[in-house]
Amino acid sequence: MNILLVDDDSVDREIVKRALRSSADISSITEAKTAEEGLIALENKQFDVILLDYMMPQIDGIEMVITLRNKPNLGDTAIVMISISDDEQLAIECLQAGAQDFVAKTEISPGKMKRAIVQAQKRFELEKKLFDSYCQVRELAEKDSLTGLSNRYHFEKALKIYLSNNIRSNKNVALLLLDLDHFKNINDSYGHDAGDELLKKVVDIINDCLRGNELFARLGGDEFAILLSGISDVKEASKVAERIIGSLEDPLHVKGNKVQCGVSIGIAMHPENASTSESLVKYADIAMYRAKHQGRNRYCFFQETMQQQLSRAYQIKMELDEAIKKQSFELHYQPVINTQDKEIVGVEALIRWPSSSVNSTPDEFIPIAEESRSIIKLGQWVFDTAIEQLASWQKDYKSTLTMAINISAVQLSDDSLASSIQGSLKRHGVSPEHLILEITETALFSRSENAKACLQRLSELGCKIALDDFGTGYSSISHLMNYPINIVKFDKTMLPESNQSDRYTALMRGLSSMVNIIGLDIIAEGVETEFHWSLCEELSIKELQGFYFSKPLLSSELTANWLA
């Protein structure tokens, strides 16, 4: 047995050595006069037991125990503390620090030393086993089993530590939140095994973009976090993001399939953007959301304005709910004009929110109402109010007048939409062919069966279906063929300015003749000038809508200006 004896007092060392010498199984005793010397001796030789004096100058015995127990494998050696005092409190302190036994110098005898050494070795063996199983449990608790990365639990713990360390340096920590683009589609189309394989491949690729000293964690699903510390220039964070996006540009081979997997990254900086870990995560998340909205496969730094926009959206959402309850909206009506006689043929109902303290336009609040699905209730109010208005105009002025109503994608997913509209038409005695339901191409893009069935029902009811904003989205011919569409509304951006090249006019000409050939009607939106009007006339577009004729009007104004 090899023993290391650490004690600054040479007389005490002699007493211990004498007690040990009578024990046959001790093969060597190495002496050290200080803790530092002891630690150096440990670097060079493996000992079975350390006999360690409690009281020493500079580093005392307890500090040496703590240093040793922080080494890998707990420093690998059993420790018996030796002290002049036999104070029980002191003994407990030594054991708590990581020693296995405690002997008062007054008690030293061959028998006592032998027992202490054997027991200390046994105890240390047990403590190590316990420590190993603790490490295994911790590994399970802190690691993501699929990728081997840190999991969310460990990431959140580590993030707090990184940030508190960062406050003391005058550098930055950058948090990158990553979300794979369209991962759900890949999972759904090729199965979960393929999804798992893809995640592992992506992790390998991202690891190759990192130096290895970053905290890289999987937060769940296809969401990852990377923490870069010691950053002096934000460019370092954008370089990492660019490298990751670039390295995921090529398709990956997963279970025999070639899949394209982009990534959207949001970046927030500590302490510049946020002081706490919670707000740093929140801001990186906002930036990631923005990156996704800007078209995916890109990175985006958090900016104060994003938070302002987000809180405005939240304020609008809250006020909207209240306004829907109180029905504090108005409908304005914009006339649709026949090219030949400049007579009104119909109107489009456009919602207004005059009482709103946030002063919001439909382009802003409709998408928010769609996101919270409150558009379903709001939409019901719109078509009921518009149909009632149409009934009254048809009765008093023009029995052929049409009413166009905008319907959002979310409304199409509502199974009761067709029957609600049918109910409203019946209640107000309006025949369905005078109702035009305007939908945008993005509503069709989700290719949901629900939406298709809903449009089919409305069409069978006799309502006209118009494809709104044509020319801004996909302008896909397949949409025109696969859905029961009667009218195509050319978006205002399609109308060229008088000084624009002939190509714009040629495009309009081509598109309008295509739409005419397949038997659909056209309404041109955004007719603002005489030039627009004569161009539409030349292209035989029969119905027009725009500021050149009239802006959207209150119902009383529309009656006075166009019907009475």
Q: List residues near ligand C2E by CB under 6 A.
A: 334, 350-351, 361-363, 366, 382, 406-408, 438, 468-469, 492, 525-528, 545-547, 552
| Binding partner of residue 270 among ligand C2E, Mg ion, none, CB cut-off 5 to 8 Å per kind | none
- Is residue 60 within 8 Å of 52, Cβ to Cβ? no
Give the whole-angstrom CA distance, residue 310 versus residue 170.
30
Measure the CA–CA gap between 301 and 265, rounded to whole angstroms: 9
> To the nearest whole angstrom, how small is the minimum distance from the Cβ of residue 386 to ligand C2E?
8
CB of 536 to ligand C2E, least distance (A): 12
Nearer to Mg ion by C-beta: 90 or 436? 436
266 binds, among Mg ion, ligand C2E, none (CB under 5 to 8 A by kind): none
Q: Could you say which of Mg ion, ligand C2E, none residue 334 binds, taking C-beta under 5 to 8 angstroms by partner kind?
A: ligand C2E
Stretch that binds Mg ion, among 59-67, 149-157, 237-245, 467-475 (CB under 5 A): 467-475
Q: Which is nearer to Mg ion, 159 or 466 (CB)?
A: 466
Segment contacting Mg ion by CB under 5 A, of 61-69, 163-171, 380-388, 460-468: 460-468
Provide the minimum distance between the beta carbon of 229 and ligand C2E in the complex, in angstroms, as a whole number: 46
Question: Cβ of residue 468: shortest distance to ligand C2E, in angstroms?
Answer: 5
Q: What is the per-residue DSSP string for 16-38?
A: HHHHHHT-TT--EEEEESSHHHH
CB of 348 to ligand C2E, least distance (A): 6
Instruction: Tell me how far apart the alpha carbons of residues 292 and 154 are, in angstroms, rounded to a whole number.
Output: 26
d(CA 225, CA 174): 10
Partner in contact with 172, chosen from Mg ion, ligand C2E, none, beta carbon below 5 to 8 Å by kind: none
SS (H, E, C) 503-541: HHHHHHHHHHHHHHHCCCEEEECCCCCHHHHHHHHHCCC
Residue type, position 262, single letter? G
Sequence-distant (6+) residues with CB within 8 A of 134 are none
Nearer residue to ligand C2E within complex by CB, 99 or 523: 523
Nearer to ligand C2E among residue 13 and residue 434 (C-beta): 434
Spacing of C-alpha 431 from chain mean position: 47
Phi, psi of 20 (to 5 degrees): -80, -30
The answer to whether 103 and 85 have CB atoms below 8 angstroms apart is no
Tell me the residue type at 59: I
**76 three-state secondary structure:** coil
Using CB under 5 A, which of 48, 197, 468, 543 touches Mg ion?
Answer: 468
Nearer to ligand C2E, 166 or 360 (CB): 360
Instruction: Tell me which H or E stretch contains 378.
Output: helix 375-396
Which of the ranges 126-134, 319-327, 437-445, 528-536 carries the binding residues for Mg ion, by CB under 5 A? 437-445
Q: Which is nearer to ligand C2E, 36 or 528 (CB)?
A: 528
CB-nearer residue toward ligand C2E: 377 or 428: 377
Which of 35/347 has CB closer to Mg ion?
A: 347
The nearest distance, CB 434 to ligand C2E, in angstroms, is: 17
Give all strands (DSSP E) within 45-90, no chain letters. 49-53, 78-83
Are 438 and 491 within 8 A, CB to CB? no
> Are 244 and 210 a contacting pair, CB within 8 Å?
no
- Going by the DSSP 8-state scheme, the letter that residue 483 receives in this structure is S
The answer to whether residues 301 and 272 touch, using CB atoms and an 8 Å cutoff, is no
441 binds Mg ion (CB under 5 A): no
What token pair was written down for 532?
């627009």
Q: Which does 473 bind (CB under 5 to 8 A by kind): ligand C2E, Mg ion, none?
A: none
Q: Which is nearer to ligand C2E, 43 or 363 (CB)?
A: 363
Segment (H or E) for 345: strand 344-352
Binding mask 386-425 for Mg ion (x = CB under 5 A): --------------------x-------------------
Report which residue's Cβ sits closest to ligand C2E: 546
Cβ-based nearer residue to ligand C2E, 61 or 552: 552
| 101 contributes a contact to Mg ion by CB under 5 A | no
d(CA 526, CA 534): 13
CA distance 35 to 45: 15
To the nearest whole angstrom, how small is the minimum distance from the Cβ of residue 562 to Mg ion?
18
Cα 70 from chain centroid (whole Å): 38
Indicate whether 374 belongs to the interface with Mg ion (CB under 5 A): no
Answer with the entry of Mg ion, ligand C2E, none that 484 interacts with (C-beta below 5 to 8 A by kind): none
In angstroms, rounded to a whole number, what is the distance separating the alpha carbons of residues 438 and 466? 5
Q: What is the smallest separation between the CB atom of 333 and ligand C2E, expressed in angstroms? A: 10
Q: What is the smallest separation between the CB atom of 391 and Mg ion, expressed in angstroms?
A: 21
Q: 153-178 burial string, b = 16+ CB within 10 Å, else e?
A: ebbbebbeebbeebeeeeebbbbbbb
Output phi, psi for 486, to 5 deg: -110, -30
Segment near Mg ion (CB under 5 A); pick from 128-136, 303-311, 372-380, 463-471: 463-471
Q: Which of 7, 144, 441, 469 binds Mg ion (CB under 5 A)?
A: 469
Q: Which two tokens stand for residue 448?
A: 């949901």
How far apart are alpha carbons 161 and 166 in whole angstroms?
Answer: 8
- Our CB check for ligand C2E shows the closer of 215 and 544 to be 544
> Of 505-534, which residues contact Mg ion (CB under 5 A)?
525
Stretch touching Mg ion by CB under 5 A, among 80-88, 277-285, 461-469, 511-519: 461-469
**Cα angle, residue 493 at apex, residues 492 and 498 outer, rounded to 5°:** 95
Q: Please, what is the minimum distance in Å from the beta carbon of residue 217 to ligand C2E?
A: 41
- Of 153 and 549, nearer to ligand C2E (C-beta) is 549
Which of residues 197 and 438 has its CB atom nearest to Mg ion in the complex? 438
Q: Which of these, 527, 528, 522, lies nearest to 489 by C-alpha position?
A: 522
Number of residues that bind Mg ion (CB under 5 A): 5
Site for Mg ion contains 438 (CB under 5 A): yes
β-pair type (464-470, 435-440): parallel
Site of interaction with Mg ion (CB under 5 A) = 406, 438, 468-469, 525
